[in-house]
Amino acid sequence: MSVIQDGGYNRPGIIEKPPVLAPGHTSGSVTERISEVITRGTPKWFYPAFGFSFLLLMVLIFSIAKLVFEGTGIWGLNVPVGWGFAIINFVWWIGIGHAGTLISAILLLLRQEWRTSINRFAEAMTLFAVACAGIFPLIHVGRPWLAYWLLPYPNTMGMWPQFRSPLVWDVFAVSTYATVSLLFWYVGLIPDLATLRDRSENKLAKIIYGMTALGWRNSARHWHEHEVVSLLLAGIATPLVLSVHSVVSFDFAVGLIPGWHATIFPPYFVAGAIFAGFAMVLILTIPLRSVFGLEDFITQRHLENMGKVMLATGLIVAYGYGVEIFMAWYSGNPFEWFVVTNRITGPYRWHWATLILCNVVVPQSLWIKPLRTSALALWIISMFVTVGMWMERFIIVITSLHRDFLPSSWGMYHGTIWDWAIYVGTIGLFLSLLFLFIRFVPMISIFEMRTLTPEARKVAEGHSKEHH
Partner 1 sequence: MANNDTTTDTPIESTSKVDLTGPKYWRSLEELVDSDAFQEEVTREFPRLAIPLAGGVDRRRFLQLMGASMALGGAAACTRQPLEKIVPYVRQPEQRIPGRPDFYATAATLGGYAAGILIESHEGRPTKVEGNPEHPASLGAVDLRTQASVLDLYDPDRSQTLTHLGRIRTWESFVDALSTNLGAQASTGGAGLRILTGSITSPSLAAQLASTLERFPQAKWYQYESATRRSATLGASVAAGQPAEVHYALADADVLLSLDADFLTQGPGSVRYAKDFGRRRKAFDSKVEMNRLYCLESAPTNTGSIADHRLSRTPAQIEKLALALAAKLGVAGASAAASSNLDDAAKHWIDVVAKDLQSHRGRCAVLAGDQMSPELHTLVVGINQQLGNLGSTVHLTEPIAARPADDLADLRALVKELEGGQVQVLMMFGVNPVYDAPADLDFASALQNPTTTFKVHHGARADETAPYCQWHIPATHYLEAWGDARAFDGTTTLQQPLIEPLYGAKSAHEVLAVVLGTPGIPGADLVHDHWIGQLGSEKAWRRAVHDGVIAGSAARALTVAGINSGSAATAIASRPLPSGLELAIRPDPTVWDGRFANNGWLQECPKPISKLTWDNALLISPRTAAAQNLQSGDLVRIESGDRTLEMAVHVQPGHADGVVTAHLGYGRTRAGRVGNELGFDVGSLRTSDTFWGAPVTLTKVGTGYPLASTQEHFSMENRHLVREASVEHYREHPHFAHEVAHEFGPEMSMFPPHPYEGNAWGMAINLSACTGCNACVVACQSENNIAVVGKEQVIAGREMHWLRIDQYFTGEDFGDVEGMVNLPVPCQQCENAPCELVCPVAATVHSDEGLNDMVYNRCVGTRYCSNNCPYKVRRFNFFKYQDFVTPSLKLQRNPDVTVRFRGVMEKCTYCVQRISQARIAAGREDRAVLDGDVVTACQQACPTEAIAFGNINDPEAEVTRWKQQDLNYSLLSDLNTRPRTTYLARINNPNPALEDHA
Which residues sit at the interface with partner 1, rule CB under 8 A? 70-73, 76-83, 140-143, 146-147, 149-150, 157, 159-162, 164-168, 171, 251, 254-257, 334-335, 338, 401, 403-412
Residues 6+ apart with CB under 8 A from 186: none
Residues 6+ apart with CB under 8 A from 89: 132, 133, 136, 390, 422, 423, 426
- Positive or negative, the Cα torsion across 167, 178, 238, 316? positive
Beta carbon of residue 237, minimum distance to partner 1 (angstroms, whole number): 25
Beta carbon of residue 317, minimum distance to partner 1 (angstroms, whole number): 24
Beta carbon of residue 179, minimum distance to partner 1 (angstroms, whole number): 20
Beta carbon of residue 149, minimum distance to partner 1 (angstroms, whole number): 5
120 vs 140 by CB, closer to partner 1: 140
74 vs 353 by CB, closer to partner 1: 74
Beta carbon of residue 68, minimum distance to partner 1 (angstroms, whole number): 10
171 vs 241 by CB, closer to partner 1: 171
d(CA 257, CA 246): 18
- Positive or negative, the Cα torsion across 212, 217, 223, 228? negative
d(CA 378, CA 365): 10
Beta carbon of residue 170, minimum distance to partner 1 (angstroms, whole number): 8
Beta carbon of residue 161, minimum distance to partner 1 (angstroms, whole number): 6
Long-range contacts (CB closer than 8 Å, 24 or more residues apart) made by 370-379: 372/303, 372/304, 372/307, 372/308, 372/311, 373/300, 373/303, 373/304, 373/307, 375/286, 375/290, 375/300, 375/303, 376/286, 378/282, 378/286, 378/303, 378/306, 378/307, 379/282, 379/283, 379/286, 379/287
Residues 438 and 49 sit within 8 Å (Cβ to Cβ):
no
41 vs 158 by CB, closer to partner 1: 158
- DSSP 3-state of 96: helix
Residue of 297, 303, 280 whose CA lies nearest to 384: 280
- Positive or negative, the Cα torsion across 131, 316, 395, 141? negative
Residues 439 and 297 sit within 8 Å (Cβ to Cβ):
no
51 vs 82 by CB, closer to partner 1: 82
d(CA 58, CA 69): 16
50 vs 260 by CB, closer to partner 1: 260
80 vs 266 by CB, closer to partner 1: 80
Beta carbon of residue 268, minimum distance to partner 1 (angstroms, whole number): 20
15 vs 79 by CB, closer to partner 1: 79
Beta carbon of residue 168, minimum distance to partner 1 (angstroms, whole number): 5
CA distances from 264 to 222, 271, 282, 295 (A): 44, 11, 27, 39
47 vs 405 by CB, closer to partner 1: 405
Angle between helical axes of 417-440 and 116-139 (0-180°, round to 10): 150
45 vs 69 by CB, closer to partner 1: 69
Beta carbon of residue 465, minimum distance to partner 1 (angstroms, whole number): 58
Beta carbon of residue 158, minimum distance to partner 1 (angstroms, whole number): 11
Beta carbon of residue 394, minimum distance to partner 1 (angstroms, whole number): 15
Buried b (16+ CB within 10 A) or exposed e, 444-462: bbbbbbbbbbbebbeeeee
Other CB atoms within 10 A of residue 341 CB? 12
Cα three-residue angle 249-135-242, rounded to 5 degrees: 30
263 vs 364 by CB, closer to partner 1: 263
> DSSP string of 52-84?
HHHHHHHHHHHHHHHHHHH-GGGSS--SS----
Report cis status (omega within 30 of 0) of the bond before 80: yes
33 vs 403 by CB, closer to partner 1: 403
- DSSP 3-state of 21: coil
